[in-house]
Structure 1
Amino acid sequence: MSDPVRDLVSVRGATERLLAAASTWDNSTVPEPSRLPGWSRGHVLAHLSRNADALRNVLRGRPMYASGEIRDREIEAGAPRSLAEHLADLRASGEGFLAEADACADWSRTVEMRNGVMDSASHIPFRRWAEIELHHVDLGTGYELEDLPDEFVAREIDFLTERFGSHPQVVPFDIRADDGRVWTTGGHGEGPIAGVGGPAPELLGWLAGRRDGSALTVEGGPLPVLPPL
């Protein structure tokens, strides 16, 4: 069960780690490629800032983004900014989200995300935490999946296995972390036809589209094909 107040503490910590890491860069780092195809590090930073604004909108009962086109334009426009501008924006937008979340009086209500997806308000802090942690890795500046907090890794695997659990394009399979944790996911077929195992960060990387799964072990069939997130 989500604990939004506790998750907000994790959001603060993840934000400060990212800001501390980015503050050691210089302006030449910003236009360099990130690990996300077609995006520079500046694109990733701009996206993180606008995502904080968007989740603040969600908590206010407003549309997450005015439109997909406007979202994309704002990221493109923000990407080339100086490092100092990115850091100021990331801090200000993050503080704005946290202030809105701190004032939230009803975490049990249902809110609307992008594309009409409905969710509990109580899940929003974790969604923000996930954005910061995974995109920090995407920046490709030394923060890796293995550096992610253990609690976050387990909960994000929970989230992704639930997301794929009823997906008609994903065959059923078991996921087995080296520490003994097991998940079952996939929605096409009567039962698991494959088992995928490995270290939890590698499993998360594969599920989240950050790694190709070549470091994982597979039993009972080929590595399942996952749709893009």
Structure 2
Amino acid sequence: MIDHMRDLACVTEATELLLGAAAALDPAGLAAPSRLPGWSRGHVLAHLARNADALVNVLEGRPMYVDAATRDADIERDAPRPLGVQLADVRNTAARFLHSASVPADWNRTVELRNGVTDAAARIPFRRLIEVELHHVDLGLGRDLEDLSEEFVAREIDFLAQRFSGTPSVPPLTLKASDGRTWRTGAAEGDPLPVTGPAADLMGWLAGRRDGASLEFSGGPLPVLPPL
């Protein structure tokens, strides 16, 4: 069972950790490339703020974004802002998200995100936690996937394995972490091939943060996963 209130507490903690790390940036560091191709650190912070607004929209029954072009334009518009403005925006939008997610509601209801994706309302706080944790790593400020909690890594692998489950373009796979945990994903038909390695590397590959070079796979090159 999803404990959305516990996830909200984790979001608050992770947001403060990210803001503390980003506060040490100077103007050159803010404008420097992040670990995401084509995005500066300013882009990452702008996206985090706009994503919080978007998830408030989801929780309150509005479209997540007006459209993809507006989403991208808003990030480009906000990316060059000074650090103080960026940090205040991330903090203020995080507070609005926390407020919206703390209002008594039917947490079993289905909500709609972008591109027709739907989910239980109770999972929205964890979706926000994913954004904060992974984009903290994307900032390239010394935090890496191995620094994320074991619980978070396992839940994120489970989340992404479910997302790719039944996808015909992904062959049937069994994801095997070095500590023995396993997940099933990919096409429903066929004998699954094992992909084995450290949990952080499995998560990084599924989330598009690592190329999977450290993973063991007997089926030739690792399959190309659909974009998230």
Q: Is the structural similarity TM-score above 0.5?
A: yes
Aligned to 1:91: 91
Superposition RMSD on alpha carbons, in Å? 1.2
1:104 Cα deviation after fit: 3.6
1:111 Cα deviation after fit: 0.9
Aligned to 2:205: 206
CA distance in 2, matches of 1:202, 1:104: 37
1:23 aligns with 2:28: no
Aligned to 2:50: 50
Q: Which moved more, 1:53-62 or 1:102-111?
A: 102-111
CA distance in 1, matches of 2:218, 2:3: 36
The question of whether the paired residues in 2 share the 8 Å contact of 1:169 and 1:188 is answered with no
1:174 aligns with 2:174: yes
- Identify unmatched segments of 5+ residues in structure 2: none
Query: How do 1:218-229 and structure 2 match up within 5 A?
Result: 218-229=217-228
1:29 Cα deviation after fit: 1.1
1:36 aligns with 2:36: yes
Aligned to 1:5: 5
Aligned to 2:101: 101
Aligned to 1:119: 119
SS at match of 1:141: coil
SS at match of 1:30: helix
1:189 Cα deviation after fit: 3.7
Amino acid at match of 1:212: D
CA distance in 1, matches of 2:108, 2:221: 41
Output the TM-score relative to the length of structure 2. 0.96
Aligned to 2:216: 217
Aligned to 2:154: 154
SS at match of 1:196: strand
Output the TM-score relative to the length of structure 1. 0.96
1:221 Cα deviation after fit: 4.4
Deviation per CA, 1:165-187: give whole Å up to 9, x if none: 11110000111101110111111
The question of whether the paired residues in 2 share the 8 Å contact of 1:130 and 1:156 is answered with yes
CA distance in 1, matches of 2:137, 2:124: 20
CA distance in 2, matches of 1:28, 1:164: 38
SS at match of 2:226: coil
Identity %: 61
CA distance in 1, matches of 2:32, 2:218: 39
CA distance in 2, matches of 1:4, 1:206: 26
Aligned to 1:196: 195
1:112 Cα deviation after fit: 1.0
Deviation per CA, 1:168-227: give whole Å up to 9, x if none: 1000011110111011111164221x2111110011001111001111112354423322
Amino acid at match of 2:198: P
1:151 Cα deviation after fit: 0.9
CA distance in 2, matches of 1:129, 1:16: 12
The question of whether the paired residues in 2 share the 8 Å contact of 1:27 and 1:82 is answered with yes
Amino acid at match of 2:120: S
Give runs of ≥4 in structure 1 deviating > 6 Å: none
